[in-house]
Amino acid sequence: MDKRTYNKLYWERMPPEKKAEYHRTYYQRHKGERKSYSTEYYLQNREKILGYTKKWAGKPEVRIRAMAHKKKYRQNIRMRCIDHYSGGTMECACCPEKIYEFLTIDHINGGGTRHKKIHNAFLYGWLIKNNFPEGFRVLCMNCNFAIGMYGLCAHHDGSLLVKEKAIIGK
Ligand SMILES: [Zn+2]
Ligand SMILES: [Zn+2]
């Protein structure tokens, strides 16, 4: 076993309170020391470095790359959510709509203001982070809109009544 592997194993097996103790004494021992060259350099040239970073991030090729990456990430989490909440069918819970681009996540019973805040762009990430909580389903845009607007979708029995009421109610 080489020294690095040994050290790693030693560290992994160390009980947590001992680890905490180690960190404490390490901090005490090195507290007054001069900061490393790179830290020092950064602190003294912060503005300049941030300027470089900003300039680099503003380059068209970098921006396109970052945007593509973001898009891919968003599509990936969206796909995972649609897959989970449709039970793997990738289909609307109300009608046979299967076109992926038309599908969306619906919060059953409308949800409270708490959920409204995270709706839109953050919903998918939030669902994954919270281990796919219950109370959501997959709907197509049409059914989602109809249920949101009239409380019932035209695909269901009795929907005409809801529609009539909605029209009369105007
Ligand atoms: Zn539908
Ligand atoms: Zn429907």
Three-state SS letters, 5-70: HHHHHHHHHCCHHHHHHHHHHHHHHHCCCCCCHHHHHHHHCHHHHHHHHHHHHHCHHHHHHHHHHH
Average pLDDT, the chain: 82
CA pair distance 70, 110, nearest whole angstrom: 28
Of 1-10, 18-27, 81-90, 138-147, where does the model show the most confidence?
A: 81-90
What's the CA-to-centroid distance between 142 and ligand 2, angstroms? 7
Query: What's residue 165's pLDDT?
Result: 44
Residue 107 tokens, joined: 């919060």
pTM of the entire predicted model: 0.58
Tokens 């289909």 sit on residue:
91
Q: How big is the CA angle at 47 (ends 45 and 51), to the nearest 5 degrees?
A: 115
Query: What's residue 100's pLDDT?
Result: 94
Residue 141 tokens, joined: 């845009």
One-letter amino acid for residue 166 of the chain: A
Ligand closest in space to the Cα of 92: 1
What's the CA-to-centroid distance between 156 and ligand 1, angstroms? 11
What's the CA-to-centroid distance between 136 and ligand 1, angstroms? 15
What's the CA-to-centroid distance between 15 and ligand 2, angstroms? 57
Query: What's residue 51's pLDDT?
Result: 93
